[in-house]
Amino acid sequence: MSILSGKNILLGISAGIAAYKTASLVRLFVKVGANVKVVMTPASKEFVTPLTLSTLSKNPVYSSFTSDEDENAVWNSHVDLGLWADLILVAPATANTLSKMSNGICDNLLLAVYLSAKCPIYFAPTMDLDMYKHPSTLESCKMLQSYGNIMIPATSGELASGLVGEGRMAEPEDIVAFIENDILEKSPLKGKKVLITAGPTYEAIDPVRFIGNHSSGKMGFEIAKASANLGAEVVLISGPTHQKVSHSFIKVIPVVSAQDMYDAVHQYFETSDIAILSAAVADFKPKEVALQKIKKKESTLTLELEKTKDILASLGSIKKQQFLVGFALETNNELENAKAKLKAKNLNLIVLNSLKDKGAGFKTETNKVTFIDDKDTISEFQLKSKTDVAKDLLNEIIKQINA
């Protein structure tokens, strides 16, 4: 999975011959899992049709401030489009559009979106070689970069005019790679190794039965995705779950029992920078595992259970540079219990879920959490999707490791 997966990309197209390449660009963005909306300058529609781009992006294409001419006119809000975008790419960016962008001229929808956007903005200058070298073009590019916009330089080669030189728009594959690398370079967890546990563990009773719990693994998988999206290299050790993830930065290691999870975690902990243990590990396992299926001969069956190893506590006792995060699922005396676990297991941060809160805990899409750190700082959050809880948790960890 690409770092662009799930990102909202607004592609701004201005009127250069390279606009024909934007069809491939949209396809590539969609292929890596991004959501794409296209805003065209009116003149660019001479070079590539809105129908092609709306079909490929699976979204309407915008080129004016209203969608209809008459009294049914619908406003295409430049503000909403700008806020929707996680990043904007203007490609091709012609001399005309570059000059208007750098001077704050705002006479079409694309320019208005550019001016109102708060996200990172990339631009790919494209024009004939002498236009590209013209001092005013160079000045526009310089000014735009001084405002924090990111230039994807033109390449050299044969140009539409037949001349050979600098001014060709970078190839769509190279533009996608450029943006991916740029985002990764600036990602706060770039180069960090994050170890995560997720899901339940199953403790065998006999060859067909086990003791387990209702954990879906959703929270841990969301934490893994959020970490990878921030540039981390993730090892996700998961008990049996239906969750799926496919991301080039996430290595999934499936395990079954608490002992399997313990062994896998210890294999990766030493080289980890951050460990987040969200798994619902069984606290007890049958002392003896029957080799054959247990028959129902008697009217009662007594199983003797023994404690599993506490994985989190074992990490707390050996941790060096690692930032260690645990979870506490509580039903009563929540804060005291969570604080006691934080101390007893030598954690940097604990995430408290209370089962008293509706929508928190196992098998839900949402969670309501409180973070408690080792300096006793308590941060309480509203009920949120587990995706957003994962983002909040990573933000908190980044804040703490950079403090």
Binding site for ligand CTP (CB under 6 A): 197, 258, 277, 279, 281, 283, 308, 310-312, 326-329, 341
CB nearer to ligand CTP: give 306 or 380.
306
CB nearer to ligand CTP: give 62 or 327.
327
Note the residue count of the chain: 403
Q: Least distance in Å: CB of 373 to ligand CTP?
A: 15
| C-beta of residue 42 within 8 angstroms of C-beta of residue 115 | no
**Location of structure tokens 């140009």:** 159
CB nearer to ligand CTP: give 184 or 289.
289
Q: Least distance in Å: CB of 283 to ligand CTP?
A: 5
User: Terminal CA-to-CA distance of the chain, rounded, Å?
Assistant: 31
Written as six digits, the tokens of 164 are 């050979």
Alpha helices by DSSP H, listed for 296-365, are 311-318, 334-344
Single-letter residue type at 190: K
| C-beta of residue 190 within 8 angstroms of C-beta of residue 183 | no
| C-beta of residue 266 within 8 angstroms of C-beta of residue 253 | no
CB nearer to ligand CTP: give 174 or 336.
336
Element (H, E) at 167: strand 164-168
Dist. CA 48–CA 65, nearest whole Å: 19
Q: Least distance in Å: CB of 322 to ligand CTP?
A: 14
Buried b (16+ CB within 10 A) or exposed e, 322-356: bbbbbbbbbeeebeebbbebbeebbbbbbbbbbee
Catalytic (active-site) positions: 213
Q: Least distance in Å: CB of 198 to ligand CTP?
A: 9
Element (H, E) at 39: strand 35-40
CB nearer to ligand CTP: give 178 or 327.
327
Q: Least distance in Å: CB of 384 to ligand CTP?
A: 19
